[in-house]
Amino acid sequence: STELHEIKAKLESPNITDLETPSQHYVIQEQLCALLYNNRKFDFRSYVMVASVRPLLVLFHVGKVRVSNHTHNRTDYGKQDHFLSNLSQGGKPHLMKDLPLDQHLQENKERLSKRVPQGVAAVDHVKSQMKSALNHFVQAYQNRSFTAQNLEGLGSENGFSLYGVDFIVDIDLDVWFIEPQWSPGMREESTPPNYIEMLSSMFHIVEEIQERQSQGKYVLPLSSLGEWEVVYSEEDDYGYGYEFDRKSSEKQSCPKA
């Protein structure tokens, strides 16, 4: 954008004090070298189900991949290619299995051998980082956003909810948690092909938890999880952890082409 180029010019100016005015505040960092798909930027829209708040139980569904409608130019700060589409060119949402993550791992095997544990597929490595990041997020906000106190005044003994979470992955196959979404974005035309099964299993999970609690049983284990995975269970004092969920300290500069 024009503004970014102006900031760059000011930083390169001998008179750096041009930036030091009370009305101007900047946060500047090196551009994250995101992994591309067919030379397009993409991110993951995953789903988080708070299946229970008494006790807190949080589930993860990998969701879908959103791909930009425009090819990416790493030297152009224009905004057009940063917009991500819910749909692929074929009219159907991408899935994680559509991404050539294992191919990227093989092509960069020497560089990534210290990042990805031997014998672990790139898809599993990426997914494990997502679940680990989500566990850290839940624990950080447990007493603020994920609390039974939010049920007070509703006359309910328990509750459930569905959220979206966005991730991107860089060329080191490091996953970055971008932001949570109050609205999960579940329009029929932009949801994964298995979204009916995903939603159906949500209600089966809620019903099973209600039945188990009415019988005085622990919430876990659940037989109706389907493709949902447990990332946090207050009842079992469990939070998903992944030993290799750590960012590389030797990040390469982004290719200019």
Tens of pLDDT, residue by residue over 161-181, are 899 999 999 999 999 999 988
Report the amino acid identity of residue 28: I
- Per-residue CA distances from 57 to 93, 232, 238 (Å): 28, 6, 10
The rounded distance, in Å, linking the Cα atoms of 243 and 52 is 27
Q: What phi and psi values does residue 249 have, to the nearest 5 degrees? A: -85, -5
According to the model, what pLDDT value does residue 181 have? 87
Give the pLDDT score at 138: 93
Q: Which residues pair with 49 in a beta bridge?
A: 59, 162
What would the mean pLDDT of 151-159 be, rounded to a whole number?
66
Burial 137-151 (b: 16+ CB within 10 A, else e): bbeeeeeeebebeee
Torsion sign (Cα): 230, 233, 238, 242:
positive
* pLDDT value of position 184: 78
Helix/strand/coil for 33: coil
Q: What is the pLDDT of residue 183?
A: 78
In sequence order, the β-bridge partners of residue 64 are 45
Report DSSP state, residue 79. S
Would you say residue 222 has pLDDT above 80? yes
Q: How far is CA 47 from CA 59, 61, 118, 153, in A?
A: 8, 5, 28, 27
Instruction: Give the torsion sign (CA, 99, 249, 166, 118).
Output: positive
What are the beta bridge partners of residue 60?
Answer: 48, 229
The answer on pLDDT for 250 being more than 60 is yes
For the cut 90, the answer to whether the pLDDT of residue 19 exceeds it is no
